[in-house]
């Protein structure tokens, strides 16, 4: 199988250092378009679509392989191998951050830094841990998704994006959700929202950054604090940005904080 075609891999920019941008659930690589340009002069940029998303090869989707985040992490490592990448700065939005963690635990030598944008290791409240949702509420949300995916997307996307004064942002996220194959999206959603990566956090040996949005219905402020406390060598920035997609809603702030962390010059 051609891995580059499978994941619709795109390479841009110049420089020896590599930044890999990984999108979250319901999106594709296009969501990074607002933050790429300042990094293109000094870095080689790698973008891709997870299988089932964007312009990936839908025929490569395998429900068994992608029944856990490990299948997506394996895809990432295969991309790194085929492109002969090293010293990678991995930028993962939302669930892609957890996928990156699994890849980094398995093969840490590929990575230089990990950057998590609006991440969550577990979306479900559990004792003293505040993930943001009760399991029963999440199961109900997934049930609605199973019965009416397009309606679910139209209702949820604007809430996830927030920024009600800019409805075009919610409309873009809705369009992204609705462009994804519904059957694949439903399976990816369950993997995303029911996964628990908390035990992985202390295993990370690579320096990392957590970008925590100040008001995010999917990842409350306590998540950023939990990530920072439980990941060795982690830096935490609390963003002014609200919602779950700061790379779309506040690209300037996202660029500033990414650049500050990696030493963009």
Nearest to 157, CA basis, from 217, 72, 223, 219: 217
pLDDT the model gives residue 225: 96
CA dihedral 69, 73, 75, 76 (to 10 degrees): 140
pLDDT band at 265 (very low <50, low <70, confident <90, very high): low
pLDDT at 163 over 90: no
Q: What confidence category does residue 63 fall into, taking pLDDT thresholds of 50, 70 and 90? A: very high
Number of helical H runs and strand E runs in the chain: 10, 7
pLDDT score for 7: 98
Helices (H), the chain: 3-6, 69-83, 95-106, 135-147, 149-161, 167-179, 182-194, 221-230, 246-249, 251-262
Nearest to 131 by CA among 66, 195, 204, 202: 195
CA distance 144 to 124: 18
Nearest to 234 by CA among 102, 131, 101: 101
Most distant CA pair in the chain: distance in Å?
Answer: 49
CA-closest candidate to residue 34, choices 169, 157, 219, 155: 169
Which residues lie across from 115 on neighbouring strands? Answer: 91, 209
Q: Say if residue 1's pLDDT is above 80.
A: no
Name the band, by pLDDT with cuts 50, 70 and 90, for residue 152. confident
Give the integer Cα–Cα distance in Å for 124 and 136: 9
Map out the domains of the chain with their CATH numbers: 3-262 (3.40.50.1820)
The whole-number pLDDT of residue 251 equals 95
pLDDT, tens digit, 9 for 90 and up, residues 95-149: 999 999 999 999 999 999 999 999 999 999 999 999 999 999 889 888 888 888 7
Choose the weakest-confidence range: 22-26, 46-50, 59-63, 164-168: 164-168
- The per-residue pLDDT for range 116-126, each reduced to its tens digit, is 999 999 999 99
Question: Among 12-16, 64-68, 153-157, 249-253, which stretch is predicted with the lowest mean pLDDT?
Answer: 153-157
More confident residue, 241 or 26: 241
| Three-state SS at 114 | strand
Alpha carbon of residue 116 to chain centroid:
7
pLDDT band, very low/low/confident/very high, at 178 (cuts 50, 70, 90): low
CA distances from 92 to 73, 165, 168, 212 (A): 12, 26, 23, 13
State mean pLDDT over 46-65.
96
SS (H, E, C) 224-259: HHHHHHHCCCEEEEECCCECCCHHHHCHHHHHHHHH
Given a cut of 70, whether residue 252 has pLDDT beyond it is yes
φ and ψ of 131, to 5 deg? -90, -20
Between these two residues, 159 and 12, which has the higher pLDDT value?
Answer: 12
Give 154's pLDDT tier (boundaries 50, 70, 90).
Answer: confident
Distance CA 76, CA 89 (A): 13
Asked whether the predicted pLDDT for residue 235 surpasses 80, the reply is yes
Q: Point out the residues that are catalytic.
A: 94, 216, 244
Q: Average of pLDDT values for 52-72?
A: 95
What is the per-residue pLDDT across 84-95, written as a single tens digit (0 to 9) for each? 999 999 999 999
Q: Is residue 102 a contact partner of residue 22, using CB atoms and an 8 Å limit?
A: no
When the pLDDT of each residue in the chain is averaged and rounded to a whole number, the result is: 92
User: Could you give the CA distance from residue 109 to residue 88 in angstroms, rounded to a whole number?
Assistant: 9
């Amino acid at each position: 199988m051609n891995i580059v075609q499978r994941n619709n891999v795109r390479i841009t920019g110049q420089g020896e250092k590599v930044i890999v941008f990984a999108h979250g659930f319901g999106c594709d690589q296009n969501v990074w378009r607002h933050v790429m340009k300042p990094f293109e002069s000094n870095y080689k940029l790698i973008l891709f679509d997870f299988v089932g998303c964007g312009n990936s090869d839908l025929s490569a989707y395998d429900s068994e392989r992608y029944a856990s985040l490990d299948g997506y992490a394996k895809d990432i490592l295969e991309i790194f191998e085929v492109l002969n990448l090293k010293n990678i700065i991995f930028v993962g939005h939302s669930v892609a951050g957890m996928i990156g963690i699994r890849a980094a635990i398995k093969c840490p030598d590929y990575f230089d830094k990990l950057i998590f944008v609006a991440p969550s290791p577990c979306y479900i409240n559990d004792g003293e841990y505040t993930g943001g949702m009760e399991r029963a509420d999440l199961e109900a949300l997934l049930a609605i998704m199973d019965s009416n995916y397009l309606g679910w997307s139209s209702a949820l996307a604007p809430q996830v994006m927030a920024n009600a004064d800019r409805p075009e942002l919610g409309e873009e996220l809705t369009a992204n959700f609705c462009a994804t194959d519904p059957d694949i999206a439903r399976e990816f959603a369950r993997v995303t929202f029911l996964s628990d990566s908390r035990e992985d956090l202390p295993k990370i040996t690579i320096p990392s950054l957590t970008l925590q949005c100040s008001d995010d219905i999917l990842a409350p402020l306590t998540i950023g604090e939990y990530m920072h406390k439980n990941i060795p060598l982690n830096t935490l920035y609390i963003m002014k940005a609200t919602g779950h997609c700061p790379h779309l809603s506040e690209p300037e702030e996202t660029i500033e904080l990414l650049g500050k962390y990696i030493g963009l010059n």
